[in-house]
Amino acid sequence: MTVDWIAVDWGTTHLRAWLMGGGEAVCLRSDKGMGGLAPDEFEPALLELVADRITGSTPVIACGMVGARQGWVEARYAKVPCKAPGIAEAIRVPTQDGRLDLRILPGVSQDSPADVMRGEETQIAGFLARDPQFDGVLCLPGTHTKWAHVSAEEIVSFQTVMTGELFALLSTGSVLRHSMGAGWDDEAFADAVGDAMSRPQAIAARLFTLRADSLLHGQTPATARARLSGLLIGLELAATKPYWLGQQVALIGAPDLCQTYATALSAQGLAPTLHSGDDLTLAGLTAAYQTMKDTA
């Protein structure tokens, strides 16, 4: 294929580059995430993926942690309320290889309460490129789940909840790791969500009960895993209730994780829609490229 431009999503642990041309998108992946690279190692890491596919100067539009303070070059945050940052807010990065014409999209920040996002704003841009009339809340589940209030094509406010990271820490690095295993228990998950929402103040005690039930009552590893997820997501829903209560909600992210959140939200009377995070990341980067073409 002839590569017209390259879309890049560069996170802490992984790098993805889509070669775009002729109506095709070819995705290349690398484990050289931002967290393992010095500033002078970013360009070689990208070239390792794409160098044999490009010839002349090729536009590259990147989002994610590549624009963090510890990344290639810092792309400073846009502040809410704001539109999801596009090509007009991107910074141009000088490169050693003249085949790379690189721009990095900034993240979004909020002064009070203090909060930041990098990468999710591009998924929001992709969502709004497809549904510009949306007025409601976008939930982006992940290691650090984002809840964003969107209205009139702007990010009005947002809140980050560390549910995914807490789950990883508790399930692999705490005493609860001895009770965790593969599999799932739908009923246990639903019960745990309700328990955490009704009594969030008791969460620390309820967490240890997971271990005790395994020791004393033969609780299965699958049930323990589902209960831990349910307790943490229920705690998150209790904390973010002002965002989702009575709102139109769309979930953006990995399909399985979005479905887990959808199950929890459906029990609260909502009917969230589900959208692929990968698809919307590419849609957001494509919207930025199209704007660049249109204004060239």
- CATH numbers and ranges of domains, the chain: 5-118 (3.30.420.300), 160-276 (3.30.420.310)
Q: What letter would DSSP give residue 96?
A: S
Beta bridge partners of 139: 147, 251
CA atoms within 13 A on the CB side of 264: 32
Dihedral sign computed on CA atoms, order 290, 280, 80, 71: negative
User: What's at 201, amino acid-wise?
Assistant: Q
Q: Is 292 exposed, middle or buried (0-12, 13-18, 19+ CB in 10 A)?
A: middle
pTM of the complete model:
0.96
3-state helix, strand, coil in the chain (%, to 5): 45, 25, 30
**From CA 244, how far away is CA 242, in angstroms rounded?**
6
Cβ atoms of 143 and 169 within 8 Å: the answer is no
Each residue's pLDDT expressed in tens, for the chain with a length of 296 residues: 899 999 999 999 999 999 999 999 999 999 999 999 999 999 999 999 999 999 899 999 999 999 999 999 999 999 999 999 999 999 999 999 999 999 999 999 999 999 999 999 999 999 999 999 999 999 999 999 999 999 999 999 999 999 999 999 999 999 999 999 999 999 999 999 999 999 999 999 999 999 999 999 999 999 999 999 999 999 999 999 999 999 999 999 999 999 999 999 999 999 999 999 999 999 999 999 999 999 97
Cβ atoms of 161 and 115 within 8 Å: the answer is no
Cβ atoms of 230 and 210 within 8 Å: the answer is no
User: What's at 257, amino acid-wise?
Assistant: L
